[in-house]
Amino acid sequence: MLPNFFKLFLPCAVYPNKSFIFVLWLGVGVSAPAVEKSNMLSTRKIYRLVPSDKRRQLPLMLLTALCSAVIDLVGIAALVSVLLVVLDENFLANTPIFAAIYSTFGFTSERAFIVAVCVAVLVLIALKGVCSVALGQVRGRFMMRLFADLSQKMYDNYLSRGLLFVRSHHTTSLINNVNAMCHRFANGVISPLLGILTEVVVVVVLLVLLSLYNPWVVLLAVAVFLPVALIYSRIIRKRMAENGREENRLQVAQNKTMYEALRGYADIEIAGAKPYITARFARGIESLRHYSLRAMLMRASSSHVIEFSLVLGVVAVIILGLAAGQTVASLKLFLGVFAVAAYRIVPSISRIVGGWGEFKRNQFVVDLLSEELSHKPEPTSQTTEKLPFEQTIELDGVSFSYGDNNFVLNDLSLTIRKGEKVGIQGSSGRGKTTLFNLLAALFKPTQGALVVDGVRVDTPELCRKWQNNIAYVSQDLFIPDVSIAENIAFGVEREQIDHARLQRAIASARLEGLVESLSEGVWTVTGEAGCRLSGGQRQRIGIARALYKEASVLMFDEATSSLDEATEREIVDAVAGLSANDSNLTILFISHNPKTLSFCDRVVEL
C-alpha cells in the first residue's frame, strides 16, 4: 500500500435535510487501520471546528479553488500553444484547431499567425493573473472571517466558564489560544488544505490532458515526481508535527516571560534581577529561533527536492531517448512539452508538499481547539434587572473547595442585614476573598447556598440579577486604559454615559479636585492599569464606579491595604460618609487593620 501523503481533507458540504456529508479523502492508499482511524478523527474535528455559517460557505471556497485550478490549466494550455507553433514546423498540418483558427481569421502568413498567438497568450496570461488575485481575495476574506469567528467563540467560551476557570489558567496561555491558535487553524490548517486541493486538481487534470497528447510524458512525470514527493513527505511529516507543537509551547513561554517582566518591572529593577530575566528571555528566544529555523528549512527544502526531480526527468528523457536510438532533434518537441508541463507541475507538487508540511506543523491546533471548545460554557444572562434586596443576605451552611478535599470555608452560616456595615477579618489563607466571591455569586458553593431575601441565588439569571446590585472594589482595582469617565461608568459606551449621574458619583467619591486639576477633565486617559493615578485616586475611582452603578451592596476587598495611613483614613472616611448619606447602603469591608474597620457595625472573624 502507498503512504497516505495524498489523503487530504476536503470539507465539502452537501445539504440533504440540513445534514452534512463531506468528502474526506483524496488520493491513494492507507498505511494502516490505526492511521486511517486517526485521520478520520482529525478530519471530523476540523469539520466540527468550522462554524456552521462558514460550513455553508465551504462549497463556494471549493468552487474558487476549482476555478483557480481551471485558470491555471488555461494558462498552461496557452503556453503549450506557443510551444507548438514555435517548435513544430508543421503545426497547421499536425494541429487541426490551429488550422481552423488560421483559416477562420483569414491569416495569410504563418509568421503573422505566430505573432497573433503570442499576443493572445500574453493577454490571456494577464487576465489569468487578475482573476487569480480576485479569487485569492475571496479565499483570504473567508480565512480571516473564519479566524475572527473562531477567535470570538473561544473568547466567549473562556469568559463564560467563570472566575474559577480564569484563575486556574495562565493568562498568556488563554490569550495565545484565542489569538494565535485560531489564526493558525484558519491559515495553517484550512488554507493549506484548500491550496492542496487546488494543486491536486491542476496536476491530475494536466496529467490527463497530457496523456491524450503523449502518454509517455505522463509516465515520465509520475515516475519522477511522485516517488520524490512521497519520500520527502514521509521524512518531514512527523518532524513538522513535533516542530509545530514545540514552537507553540515556546511562544507561550516567551509571552509569559515578557508579560511578567513588564508587569513586575519595578520589582525586577529594585532586586537587580534584570540580568536573570534577560538571560531567561534570551534562552527562550534561542530555542524558539532553533525550531522556527527548522520549520523554515523543511519548507524551503521542498522546492529544492522538486527542482532536483525536474532535472532528473530531463536527464532521464535524454539518456533513455538516446539509448533507444532517438536523435536529439526528435527529442526536441517531447522535451519542450515536458518542460512546459513541468513548469506547472513542479510548483504544484512543491505547494502540495509544502502545504502538507504546513498542515502537519499545525495539526496539533485541531486537537487543542477541539479540547478547549468541548467544554460547554456555563449559561449566562445579560439581564439588567436587579434581584430585590430589602432584608437579608445569607450564606446557609456554605462550604467551598477549589476542586480538592481541602475546604477553604466549611459549613459557614452568615446573615447580613440590609444597611449594615460589616467588617471581615482573618489571617491570610482564611478565605476572606473566597467569602466575597461567594457573596458576589462569582463562585458556586460546594455545599450550601447563597440566599437573598429568601431566594436561593443558584441559576445564571439570578446570579446576574444579584450581581447587578453589587459593586466590588478590590486592592488591585481593574482600571482599563480609557478615560476617567469611562472607568467610572464602566461597561457603558462613551456616548451613553449619564453626565449628571457621573458628576454625582465624582462628588460623592471626592474626586472633584483630581478632575479639576486635569486639562482634559473627566476625559483624561488613566494609562495602563491606572498608572497615571495614585493608589488613593484609583480607589476613589472604584468608589465612584460603585456609586454610578447605584449598587445597593458595596464590597471592599483589602481596598486600602496598599495605601499610606493618611490616604487610607481618607478612603475609609469617604466610605463611612456614603453610609451616613444612605442608610440602605450595605457595606462589606475586608481589612487586616482593626482601626480601618472601626466604622463598621460589627466585625466577622474568620
Do 40 and 156 share a domain, yes or no?
A: yes
For range 516-544, the mean pLDDT:
82
d(CA 422, CA 604): 7
| Three-class DSSP labels, 526-538 | CCHHHCCCCHHHH
Q: What CATH number has the domain bearing residue 226?
A: 1.20.1560.10
More confident: 14 or 401: 401
Q: What is the pLDDT of residues 558-597, one digit of tens each?
A: 877 666 777 778 778 878 887 777 788 898 988 887 888 8
- What's the longest Cα–Cα distance across the chain? 111
For 159, 295, 469, the CA distances from 178, given in Å and listed in that order, are 11, 23, 31
Q: Which long-range contacts (CB under 8 A, 24 or more apart) does 562-571 make?
A: 562/475, 562/535, 563/535, 563/536, 563/539, 567/534, 567/535, 567/536, 568/593, 568/596, 570/510, 570/536, 571/536, 571/539, 571/540, 571/543
The answer on pLDDT for 2 being more than 50 is: no
Do 332 and 188 share a domain, yes or no?
A: yes
The torsion region of residue 521 among left (phi > 0), alpha (psi -120 to 50) and beta comes to left
pLDDT score for 327:
64
Q: What is the mean pLDDT of the chain?
A: 77
In a domain? residue 6:
no
Confidence tier at 87 by pLDDT (50, 70, 90): low
pLDDT score for 378:
67
Do 122 and 249 share a domain, yes or no?
A: yes
Do 362 and 439 share a domain, yes or no?
A: no
In a domain? residue 94:
yes
Confidence tier at 456 by pLDDT (50, 70, 90): very high
DSSP single-letter state for residue 521:
G
How many structural domains is the chain composed of? 2
Do 332 and 477 share a domain, yes or no?
A: no
Question: 420, 588 in Cβ contact below 8 A?
Answer: no
**pTM of the complete model:** 0.67
In a domain? residue 181:
yes
Given 374, 402, 427, the domain boundary residue is 374
pLDDT score for 417:
93
Do 287 and 347 share a domain, yes or no?
A: yes
Domain residues for 471? 392-605
Do 254 and 400 share a domain, yes or no?
A: no
Please tell me the number of Cα atoms within 13 Å of 100 on its side-chain side: 3
Find the helix or strand (DSSP H, E) in which 37 lies: helix 33-49
The answer on pLDDT for 17 being more than 50 is: no
Do 442 and 572 share a domain, yes or no?
A: yes
Q: What CATH number has the domain bearing residue 495?
A: 3.40.50.300
Residue with cell 451613553: 496
Do 273 and 407 share a domain, yes or no?
A: no
Question: Residue 420 class from Cβ within 10 Å (0-12 exposed, 13-18 middle, 19+ buried)?
Answer: middle
Lowest mean pLDDT among 102-116, 172-186, 220-234, 526-540: 220-234
Do 325 and 397 share a domain, yes or no?
A: no
Q: What is the pLDDT of residues 405-435, one digit of tens each?
A: 788 888 889 999 998 999 888 877 788 888 8
DSSP single-letter state for residue 376:
P
Do 348 and 454 share a domain, yes or no?
A: no
Question: 65, 201 in Cβ contact below 8 A?
Answer: yes
pLDDT score for 22:
32
Please tell me the number of Cα atoms within 13 Å of 197 on its side-chain side: 24
In a domain? residue 409:
yes
Strand partners, 400: 409
In a domain? residue 36:
yes
